[in-house]
Amino acid sequence: MKDVLEWFKENGGVKIISEPLDVELEIPHIAYLDIKKPNAIPLLFINPISKRLDIKYDMPVLMNLFANKKLTQDIFGQHPDAIANNIGWLLKMKPPKGISEKIKMLPKLWKLKSVFPKRLSRRGLCQEIVWRGDDIDLAKLPILKTWSEDGGRFITMGQTYSVNLDGTMSNVGMYRLQEYDKNHLGMHWQIHKDGAHFFHEYKKAGKKMPVSIAIGGDPLYIWCGQAPMPSGMFELMLYGLIRGKNAKLVKSITNDIYVPHDVDIVIEGFVDPSVTKIEGPFGDHTGYYTLAEEFPVMEITAITMKKKPIFHATVVGKPPLEDKYMGWGTERIFLPLLKPLAPELIDYHMPENGVFHNLILASMNPLYKGHAKQFMHAFWGVGQMSFVKHAIFVGNDAPQLTDYENLTKHILNRITPKSLFISEGVVDHLDHSANEQFVGGKLGIDATGDMVANDIELLSDDELLSRIQKLESEIVCLRQYMIDTANPICVISVDKQKSQLHLSNTLSSLSIHIKILVVVDRANNYLDNPYMLIWRVVNNIDATRDIKLVPFILVDGTNKSEIDGFHREWPGDTLCDKATLESLKERGLVQYDEALIKKFGLMEF
């Protein structure tokens, strides 16, 4: 991949947009709408500008690199399942018996020589241009501001390279980075990331931490940066395994961090553990803003780049986005690493509208009563799986995990309130629904058993809504799903004035007509859109607070406040800037209507 752009042109195409467009809101909004198309391809903005800073940038912005499943597979160079098979073989590898077995192993063993990165003694392509001292200025890079309420411009596809204090472990992670001024970046290290672990070593020792941020190069570098490798393993080892050739690294100019020689841009510097600054807000991949919070600061000592660099960026917000395809590769490739910890695991899947850590589906071979609940404990205790909030387990007789409609029917025909297991544990840094940051509810559902009796007395939507409204005036709309199952899902929207958990008592007389009741706010929720309803509910609930099991299963997916006993700030969800979208639409750069706005929750409605 000597020329990434040419490679993209040859592997599905690149849409080139030549109109001058602002890096603040305009470019991100186009990319945000475009990636939601079924035929999305990468976008190259060749004339990025900053109206606020009065700058015309001389480097293009490349977005939606992982635009579709085929392109993602092409980036890997093979199907992710083939990579998973190689990892599985390594995990199960045993000493060969006899000369014939040794000969058979040679081709696979030969591939392992490419796993470990090579350090070059010369300068890399990424160091053809060097900015130091007064030349350093982040404003000269086309860094994006995606959402109106973002705290500033953010690097969204940077590869953050670091080493631990004694230099024995290297790491690359994909973290957002906020531009503060010409030579300072905010380092958004989440608690479970290796970069954060390294930082605490330097902080304890009272030393500045060297860090280098790479932008661009082979897209596989980017994917490796978000791969959930076991702690202490350098993610670029995966690059060598997948590419079949060693990652070639060069030393940064002003610190001892090694980065890939052929990336487009490198931002070098040091993080002083004694210095923090407010970072955010930022419209994140959850589809909600993460709130402003103190984070470490990187002081930049050099910026290097190719002679003709391309600035890679991604846009995050409500699904679907390109992380859907990056996540697809991740879940397929890392399946073998889960199986040794849960041998009866068949497969797992993270739907993109569950924003990965909020919902996981898994199939297994249940061997005894309670086996699924044992799996739940295993999942919640393994690496990044420990941050998963909601896990649903089905048996080996279930439909494919991606056959959502039939799988949902299968699940609903096999659960009762006793099938739900509610626990508590660590939650993702970005989770906003827990009463306490980092600690919140977990919900596991055991759908591995036999079908349950169907004893519900169904009413039409209109009749059920009429009866409900006689008992509770806040309820404004109702829609029932999966009415041909033992556990239909009744979704209601409310003009909320009080906690909705009272509905388990208020509506108890209707329990013969209701099995599962899901409550959402009226504002910005369209009851005919199950895709975004799932997104909303799994984001908004804490299982220990928002689920009641009698006289029916009640799930409160509304926004929380003091009336719910919730005392943290509740963030807003990411919404496109109306004026920006209207301007882009007038210029023929985007297309949307009310149906699209409701389908993806683009703006308030």
Give me the residue label for tokens 């008592």. Answer: 505
DSSP state letter for 306? -
Torsion-angle region of 217 (φ positive above 0: left; ψ -120 to 50: alpha; else: beta): left
CA distance 379 to 343: 12
CA distances, 155 to each of 61, 145, 267, 403 (Å): 12, 9, 11, 36
DSSP 312-346: EE---SSSSSTHHHHHHHHHHHTHHHHTTTSTTEE
Residue 266 burial (10 A CB sphere; 0-12, 13-18, 19+): buried
Helix, coil or strand: residue 391: strand
The yes-or-no answer on residue 431 being catalytic is no
Whether the Cβ atoms of residue 452 and residue 413 lie closer than 8 Å to each other: yes
CA distance 425 to 541: 14
Q: Which residues of 360-383 are buried (b: 16+ CB within 10 A; e: fewer)?
A: bbbbbebeeeebbbebbeebbebb
Which is the catalytic residue, given 284, 323, 431, 564? 284
Identity at 487, one-letter amino acid code:
N
- Locate 62 and state its tokens: 């490349």
CA distance 83 to 89: 10
Helix, coil or strand: residue 426: strand
Helix, coil or strand: residue 404: helix
CA torsion angle 290 291 297 300 (round to 10): 60
Give me the residue label for tokens 């060598």. Answer: 240
φ, ψ dihedrals at 575, nearest 5°: -130, 140
- Going by C-alpha positions, the residue among 283, 288, 285, 284 that lies closest to residue 570 is 288
DSSP 39-102: T---EEESSEEETTTTEE-SS-EEE-TT-SHHHHHHHHTS-HHHHHHHHHHHHH-----HHHHH
DSSP state letter for 399? P
Q: Identify the sign of the CA torsion 318, 17, 586, 140.
A: positive
DSSP state letter for 352? G
Residues 6 or more apart whose CB falls under 8 angstroms from that of 211 comprise 160, 161, 162, 187, 195, 255, 257, 268, 269, 270, 271, 298
Q: What string of H, E and C letters represents the secondary structure of 171-239?
A: EEECCCEEEEECCEEEECCCCCCHHHHHHHHHHHHCCCEEEEEEECCCHHHHHHHHCCCCCCCCCHHHH
- Locate 216 and state its tokens: 């661009």
CA distance 65 to 75: 9
Whether the Cβ atoms of residue 517 and residue 537 lie closer than 8 Å to each other: no
CA distance 574 to 601: 9
Q: Which residues are catalytic?
A: 284
